[in-house]
Amino acid sequence: MEHMGVEPGRLSFSWISSAESTKFVDVVKEVTATVKALGPNINFKKTAKVA
């Protein structure tokens, strides 16, 4: 993805066990912060509606 020009951080991966609700909350915060910092997704969004 990054190689083809999508900003790093748009896509993230994580591994959380079903017992780790605290980690879940942390990761949600982190991911939200990264995406917020990147700003809106302008490049990849399809502007014309699918015909």
Partner 1 sequence: MLGYIDNIREISKRLLDEGRVDMIIGFRKGTIPLMNEPCFVKNSGELSTLVWDSNCGINLANYLTDRKEKIGIVAKGCDSRNIVTHIIENKIKREKLVIIGIPCKGMVDKRKIAGMFENGIEDITEEDNIIRVKSRGVETSLNKSDLLQENCALCVHRNPVIYDELAAPLIEEQKSVDRYADVLRIEAMTAQEKWEYFKDLISPCIRCYACRNACPLCYCPTCFVDESRPQWCGKSQDEIDTRTFHFLRAYHCAGRCTDCGACERACPVGIKVRQFTSKLNKDCLDMFGWEAGLSPDQRPPLDTYKPADPGDFIK
Partner 2 sequence: MSEREPKIVSFLCNWCSYGAADLAGVGRMEYPPNIRVIRIPCTGRMSPKFFLAALMQGADGVWVSG
Residue with tokens 């780790």: 20
Q: Which amino acid is residue 18, in one-letter code?
A: S
**DSSP code of 5?**
T
Q: Which of partner 1, partner 2, none does 48 bind, CB closer than 5 to 8 A by kind?
A: partner 1
Say if residues 35 and 7 touch (Cβ distance below 8 Å).
no
Least distance (Å) between residue 48 CB and partner 2: 11
What residues make contact with partner 2 under the rule CB under 8 A? 6, 9-25, 27-29, 31-32, 34-36, 38, 40-41, 44-46
Assigned token pair, 48:
């014309």
What residues make contact with partner 1 under the rule CB under 8 A? 1-8, 12-15, 27, 30, 43-46, 48, 50-51
